[in-house]
Amino acid sequence: MIQNLKEFLDKHYALKNHPFEITEEKPDPLLVLKKYQHDELFEEIALICALLSYGNAKQIVLLLKKLDFSLLKSSVSQIQKADFPLYRFQTSKDIQNLFIAIHQIIQTKRIRDLIFQGYAQNNSVIEGIHFAMQTIYETLENFCSKTNGLNFLIGKINKNPKGSSPLKRWNMYLRWMVRKDYLDFGNWSGQIEKSKLILPLDTHTFRTCQSLKILKRKTYDLHSAILATQSLKKFDPTDPIKYDFALYRIGQQKIGIKTQILEQNPS
């Protein structure tokens, strides 16, 4: 059964790892982000796109298209004068303040510097994420008060993976930056090992992993994301997260899982 599952996952990875997999008809935040891949602040633009990537894919794309990322190269006063859309749990002020925080940080360092500094302590992407999150929060304290919208957007720092957020949007951001194929950009290739990445667990991948018996745990949290990643290492020890987008699409499109696996090898 494990061999059947590997064949199933490899087949769907190959199908989804394609430049025409992401279109207006099959939207994903990458549809917008790819337009900025040669921008000098691409990594910071990617982080904003990732942090706002929750909810309906079409609505995410519509939101991201409204954002003027050139403001990151302007000034705080210009960002404060600009109009920002609101989105679900975030007010327009929340999104504006995120832009200001990123703008302030990049005056002295890049987002990659924060991720790498945290990661280097124990080769842990979670520690890299937490260090970046903490820096953003500390920067925000200089000019605005915390809001529920900002807290949701950036995420909660929790040292115990059991019961904590899966950090889906941060782990997706790292997937974009570390891996390299038709979908992912690989800007940080060689800086962080692909084998250290954690599955960006969302509701689609969570249900799909359970259906495929990749994950037996029933709680949707960071610990489950780590367990699912460990299971995926059985199929590719060096690059387990390459299956993420395929798992997401399988769940999103409600592809028949058990039937397809059995059809590949009925014995």
**Backbone region of residue 167 per phi and psi (left: phi > 0; alpha: psi in -120 to 50; beta: other values):** left
Diameter of the chain measured on Cα atoms: 67
The reported pTM is 0.94
CA dihedral sign of residues 199, 205, 209, 212: negative
Residue 264: predicted pLDDT:
46
Residue 191: predicted pLDDT:
94
Query: Please, which residues have CB within 8 angstroms of residue 202's CB and are 6 or more apart in sequence?
Result: 166, 168, 248
Residue 253: predicted pLDDT:
76
Q: In angstroms, rounded to a whole number, what is the distance separating the alpha carbons of residues 209 and 220?
A: 11
Q: Where are the alpha helices (DSSP H) in the chain?
A: 2-16, 30-33, 42-51, 57-66, 76-81, 92-105, 111-122, 125-140, 148-154, 168-178, 203-211, 222-232, 244-252, 257-264
Q: Apex CA 150: angle with CA 116 and CA 142, to 5°?
A: 75
> What are the residue boundaries of the structural domains of the chain, listed by start?
2-264
Residue 1: predicted pLDDT:
56
Residue 251: predicted pLDDT:
84
Q: pLDDT per position in the chain (267 positions), as tens?
A: 567 899 999 999 999 999 889 999 999 999 999 999 999 999 999 999 999 999 999 999 999 999 999 999 999 999 999 999 999 999 999 999 999 999 999 999 999 999 999 999 999 999 999 999 999 999 999 999 889 999 999 999 999 999 999 999 999 999 999 999 999 999 998 899 999 999 999 998 999 999 999 999 999 999 999 999 999 999 999 999 999 999 999 888 766 655 555 444 444
Residue 2: predicted pLDDT:
65
Q: Is 192 helix (H, G, I), strand (E, B) or coil?
A: strand
Residue 197: count other Cβ atoms within 10 Å of its Cβ: 22
